[in-house]
A = this chain, B = another copy of it.
């Protein structure tokens, strides 16, 4: 098996993509504990929340406070999701290390979800870039192209359109771009084909694959992307999250299963898997009544698994 990277980062999105999709509102103190334990388990990149109006997502109302705490954790790259310029201004105010602007490649999904066309989102990114540059902050800007493999509303999304939008995000001032299979429509072959083109366009500004496990293929899709040398994947502890269009469906790839897969293949993730599983158990306890996912937590690590000790070198 060729092309696998020597190191990879599992970027935690459970505190954002996970928590925003479930009913439980986790108290700020527990989010702090989650962050603290995650960093102790070797996680170095965490999406800590979303700067959306709190009337829309009460789960994210404390994002500024959580971000401020995350900034105190040494070595942590703290990112936030920002839906628009207003959110970006809050991210800059909080000195986030990274802000992620989602764009939906499905025009139908974009209009329904963001009430903007994809090209209007690109114009917003240009305004965000201007605001960032004027602010003097070092906050990086990531353009995340979602529904990149199709969506429940529109059905197919043309790869050419996904790539056009990705190029447009870069042209508008995104520091980097990522691709997301928002609703679990991707398969390993479609991932391989689209990511290969994306890497040609964005080079090392292509930064991350985000795969939902809606139909069980998240880890196989990660494998397909990893074989192209992609080194960063979003995942959610306990696989929390879900799909608003498919009640009961799994959420993101689960952090612990993904960390296990990569680590078992000898890819250095910097994760302390035992500590991560302990955190998984804790968070699942906080979220009782919510659906959690993933398989590793039941079976535990194989006897043959060689633990990887978190090292500063993996905080890349």
Contacts and interface: CB of A to CB of B under 8 A. Distances in A.
Contacts of A4: 189
> How many copies of this chain does the complex contain?
2
Given A216-B254, A257-B217, A304 B265 contact: no
B1 A261 contact: no
**A interface secondary structure, majority:** loop
Given A188-B223, A224-B223, A246-B300, A215 B265 contact: no
B304 A249 contact: no
A177 to B, nearest CB: 22
A94 interface: no
Contacts of A142: none
A29 B183 CA distance: 38
Interface in A203-256: 213-217, 219-220, 222-224, 227, 243, 246-250, 254
Given A213-B295, A220-B261, A299-B214, A185 B249 contact: no
A190 interface: yes
A152 interface: yes
Interface in A160-213: 183-185, 187-190, 192-193, 213
A219 to B, nearest CB: 5
Interface in A108-167: 150, 152, 155-156
Given A215-B260, A260-B215, A302-B150, A1 B250 contact: no
A284 interface: no
Question: For A188, A193, A265, which residue has the most chain B Cβ atoms within 10 angstroms?
Answer: A188
Contacts of A310: none
A295 B261 contact: no
A55 interface: no
A296 interface: yes
A304 B150 contact: yes
Contacts of A216: 219, 254, 257, 260-261, 294-296
- Cβ-closest 3 pairs across A and B: A216-B295, A187-B264, A246-B299
Given A152-B303, A216-B294, A249-B295, 4 more contacts: A1-B227, A4-B189, A189-B264, A217-B257
30 contacts: A1-B224, A4-B189, A150-B304, A155-B303, A184-B299, A184-B302, A185-B304, A187-B261, A187-B264, A188-B223, A188-B265, A189-B264, A189-B266, A215-B299, A216-B219, A216-B260, A216-B261, A216-B294, A216-B295, A217-B264, A219-B219, A220-B220, A220-B222, A220-B261, A247-B298, A248-B298, A249-B295, A249-B299, A250-B295, A250-B298
